[in-house]
Chain A
Amino acid sequence: MSKRKPYIRELPRDWWMKQLFYTKYMIREGSSVLITLYSLILAWGVFRLSQGETAFNGWLEALQNPFAIILHLLMLILALYHTITWFSLAPKAVDLWIKGKKLDDKVIVAAHYGAFAVLTIFCLLIITL
């Protein structure tokens, strides 16, 4: 008779706390929750704008609340974290070959930052002009 008895280890609930790499991954994934919240607040602003000036000003005033400012700072930090970590992973999903050679990872990452800068300036121009 076989004495085989393979033992299956349980995955602990806090598996993502036990390895820094997994923790960073979970923060990257988790950042989407606050980024969704930010989008909702922004969408709410557009909705208030459609209801007239007083409604929109009320929304603007609500954002002056210290809690709202702290929340927005937190959302900004997480959005930046997501952006930086995502850009650094971008070369893995790009398969560009030029003259028989794979495009260097650094070029792909730099192109992402370049596009980010151009779009940011473009948006700032639309808002301020």
Chain B
Amino acid sequence: MSELTIEIDVLRYRPEMDNEPFTQTFEVPYTAEMSILEALQYIKDHLDSTVSFRWSCRMAICGSCGLMVNSVPKLGCKAFLRDYYPQKISLEPLANFPIERDLVVVMDDFIKKLEEIKPYIIPEKEKCLSEGTYQQTPEQMAKFKQFSMCINCGLCYAACPQYALDNKFTGPAALALLARYNRDSRDNGEAERMKIVNQEEGVWGCTFVGYCSVVCPKDVDPAAAIQLLKVESSKDYLIGMFKPD
């Protein structure tokens, strides 16, 4: 019995040798349980050990293995060969990011944006440890929980045409994370973060394409976070007209 196989195109780029990326095709044994990430590991172990890609947890927790599968941003560990077989699969590094090597992208800009939105609780006043914990009801937690599920995989940036057209845009994941802290009852940093939200590069850089929420592997729904922040930003503007300070 002959073994079933599937063809996989991988976009290669080796900065020390290549001036631009090129496509290399591999033939990989096919099984229904095999993920794209496992296929890449097969390639690296058996066919070409020079192929570079990022991965760690293999279970959609670490957010390392994001890549374009047939031009759609996916996690390699959460996409399976069976959903493409017998068609050829094309793998490319995440769109809208510079390519470092092969399927590895430079994510510095994304990380910088995550840091910029002050992703930590800014309490009204620092409490001494002896005063106990900051408490929260399940309802208060429900208000932000969804937006806290982000694994920083960057798929939403690869899905965002606004980020592609102008990477000054703060972008989906960073704004969802911002919403997560603004909506936290223990946080009091909203006024500081609204300065980022109100900018043209803040929520107003978003034109509500909505593809970020479609590709998100953790159902964070960054598009919703941004639209809700637009409502807050508008309120902020209106209040500012009557109460400038």
Contact = CB atoms under 8 A, between A and B. Distances in A.
Interface of A: 3-9, 11, 15-16, 18-19, 21-22, 25, 29, 89, 91-93, 95, 97, 100-102
Contacts of B213: 92
B161 A4 contact: no
A129 B139 CA distance: 50
B99 A89 contact: no
- Kindly name the residue among A3, A6, A22, A97 whose own CB sees the greatest number of chain B CB atoms within 10 A: A6
Contact of A11 (B100, B165, B228): B165
Contacts of A97: 139, 143
Given A8-B98, A11-B96, A92-B223, 19 more contacts: A4-B15, A6-B99, A6-B100, A7-B21, A7-B99, A15-B161, A15-B164, A18-B71, A21-B209, A22-B211, A25-B209, A91-B224, A92-B210, A92-B213, A92-B224, A93-B228, A95-B231, A100-B139, A101-B142
Interface in B87-122: 95-96, 98-100, 106
A9 B99 contact: yes
B15 A3 contact: yes
B6 interface: no
A93 B165 contact: no
Interface of B: 13, 15-16, 20-21, 71-72, 95-96, 98-100, 106, 138-139, 142-143, 161, 164-165, 207-211, 213-214, 221, 223-224, 227-228, 230-231
Contacts of B72: 19
Where chain A touches its partner, the secondary structure class is mixed
A3 B98 CA distance: 15
Nearest to B143: A97
12 contacts: A3-B15, A7-B98, A8-B99, A11-B165, A16-B161, A89-B210, A92-B213, A92-B221, A93-B224, A100-B139, A100-B142, A101-B142
Contacts of A22: 161, 209, 211
Nearest to B139: A100
B8 to A, nearest CB: 20
Contacts of A18: 71
